[in-house]
Amino acid sequence: MRRVYLRYFLVVASMVSSGLMACECEEQRIIATLAELDVQPDPLSFGQVPVSTVKSMDVTLTNRGTGTVHLRGLSVSENTEDFSVVEPEGLEYPYAIAPGNQVVFSVLYHPQKYPEQDEGSVLIESSDKDAPEYELACSGTAVEPILMVEPNPVDFGRTRVMGTSPATLTITHTGSNQTPVTISSISLTDDAEGDFAIQHAPDTPLGLSPGDHVNVNLSYIPALIDDSDRGTILLQSDAESQEEIEIYLHGSSYAPHIVVDHTALNFGTVSQGANPTLDFTISNQGNDDLNITSMSLSETGSDRFQLQPQAIDHPIAPMESELVQVTYIADDMGDDEGTLRIEHDDPLERPIFIQLHGRTPAPDIDIVPDFVSIQISGSSHYQTADIRLYNLGDENLLISGMEFDNPDGSFSIDSQPDFPVEIGWDDTSSGPYEVVTVRFTKDTATVDDMATLTFTSNDPDEGSMVVTLNGAYTP
């Protein structure tokens, strides 16, 4: 593979006229240059790096042009065993680099064998008009380590969110130098917001003689979905050229993520027998299959709601969704309330609840007053009171009857409608209504004479209402 060197340059007209751009030798290596982007440093030279040690170098891409350049990709195109790329957090392609702006990424050199001269290249893909595919040369020399750290980097692989993946890090004195090594500290410098942890490590400072080794137990417990978790352990010692060894931790996490587009379905007021349907969508915004383990309606709510389907017995793939329909069986009068509970295997979400509401037109009886108190005295031996029967609903009210209980004999009915009576409805608070007139009559002193009127109707919530009558006479 040919290696390409990146340069920011000015094209001088005299160079063209003098023919300096012409190829003087067929064996001369082809050199590509970028018109707008500048890369620093170029090339990347890591120098001598002991095996099992990782060295990082930052690379800065600067837009020196006058127009926006779109970065389309960063990848190791040659020697992925010894070199790797770490993209800046939050980078998404294509990434727009405005004139004068920069993007900084890292290239890691992690030699595997020694002694060896390692070479590689990083492919920079962009909208640069002269070099949309540009290769940045990388080189390093692998040398024998005093401390062998294995593995480095530590790859935990894919782990389910809230699950645990363990790993063991082994630190060995290779004996390449017979001097004992003192490890002064082993610390987690980047735990990816708590996802990586050191479960057990030897106490430091720790002395290692040639041939000795120690183990460090690690864990990866991802708290959120992350396709690329990164962490770092810093090992500090007095080993020559390995005074500070960065150990890179890699992991990725997976889980379903349930999203329901409605938390309530309100059917409003519908005609009796209409049986309307509303729907909601269950989506999986995670990166693993979502299983709906149950969908159930609350036992304490109305039974006038039906689900279709009643269960989802297959996994919902990532970025897919399922439509669920709820039908309101409007075959009775009045309000209906219900709650739908959705159980699932998203480790970060509790059960989902959807509130259901619907109603059909219904009468609503209102009696004013529902307690009548009559006080008379002296020469007044009777008094009447009107009781109004209202319909505050949106359907005709049928009062089928009135029961009069008059144990003291002091009350009587002066007038009443012929039962059963139907009271219509409108949107005003004053009517329509019917009137019952009661009379309290007494010739002798009494304090607390009682009677009751009980009205039965087709009101679905108050099929029976009682009016209490109380009378008193003082001579």
Give pLDDT, residue 15.
Answer: 33
Average pLDDT over residues 66-85: 95
Domain ranges, ordered by start, for the chain: 13-143, 147-254, 258-360, 365-474
Q: What six digits make up the tokens of 23? A: 């190829």
| Backbone torsions φ then ψ of 154, nearest 5 degrees | -95, 120
CATH architecture classification, 147-254 = Sandwich (2.60)
Report the distance separating Cα 355 and Cα 357, nearest Å.
7
DSSP letters spanning 72-134: EEEEEEE-TTTEEEEPPTT--SSEEE-TT-EEEEEEEE---SSSEEEEEEEEEEE--SS-SEE
The CATH number, out of the four listed (3.40.50.720, 2.60.40.1730, 1.10.1780.10, 2.60.40.10), of the domain defined by the range 258-360? 2.60.40.10
Q: Check pLDDT > 80 for residue 464.
A: yes
Q: Name the fold adopted by 365-474.
A: Immunoglobulin-like (2.60.40)
Give pLDDT, residue 437.
Answer: 98
Beta strands in 15-80 (DSSP E): 37-40, 44-50, 55-63, 69-78
Q: Check pLDDT > 60 for residue 218.
A: yes
Average pLDDT over residues 277-282: 98
Q: What six digits make up the tokens of 156? A: 């935990």
Q: What six digits make up the tokens of 45? A: 């030279």
Give pLDDT, residue 14.
Answer: 33
54 secondary structure, DSSP code = B
pLDDT of 107-117, one tens digit each? 999 998 888 99
* Highest mean pLDDT of the ranges 47-51, 228-232, 239-243, 467-471: 467-471
**CATH fold match for the domains 13-143 and 365-474:** yes
Average pLDDT over residues 166-181: 94
Give pLDDT, residue 47.
Answer: 94
Q: In 107-123, which positions are buried (b, 16+ CB within 10 angstroms) versus exposed (e)? A: bbbbbeebeeebebbbb
Q: Check pLDDT > 50 for residue 169.
A: yes
pTM score, whole prediction = 0.68
DSSP letters spanning 146-176: SEEEESSSEEEEEEETT--EEEEEEEEE-SS
Q: Check pLDDT > 90 for residue 31.
A: no
The candidate with the shortest Cα–Cα distance to 247, out of 230, 232, 225, is 232
Of 25-39, 52-66, 106-120, 172-186, which range is least confident? 25-39
Report the distance separating Cα 111 and Cα 412, nearest Å.
108
Report the distance separating Cα 315 and Cα 307, nearest Å.
18
Q: Up-side HSE of residue 130: CA atoms within 13 Å toward CB?
A: 17
DSSP letters spanning 424-467: ---S-TT--EEEEEEEEE-SS-EEEEEEEEEEEE--SS-SEEEE
Residue 394, judged by CB atoms within 10 A of its CB (0-12, 13-18, 19+), counts as middle
Q: Name the fold adopted by 13-143.
A: Immunoglobulin-like (2.60.40)
Report the distance separating Cα 245 and Cα 171, nearest Å.
11
Give pLDDT, residue 331.
Answer: 87
Q: Give the pairing type, strands 206-208 and 181-190.
A: antiparallel
How confident is the prediction for the chain on average, in pLDDT?
90
Q: What six digits make up the tokens of 202? A: 């030897």
**Confidence tier at 89 by pLDDT (50, 70, 90):** confident
CB 365 within 8 A of CB 275: no
CB 255 within 8 A of CB 343: no
Average pLDDT over residues 347-354: 96
**Confidence tier at 332 by pLDDT (50, 70, 90):** confident
**Confidence tier at 26 by pLDDT (50, 70, 90):** very low
Give percent above pLDDT 90 in the chain.
81
Give pLDDT, residue 367.
Answer: 94
CB 250 within 8 A of CB 192: no
Give pLDDT, residue 85.
Answer: 95
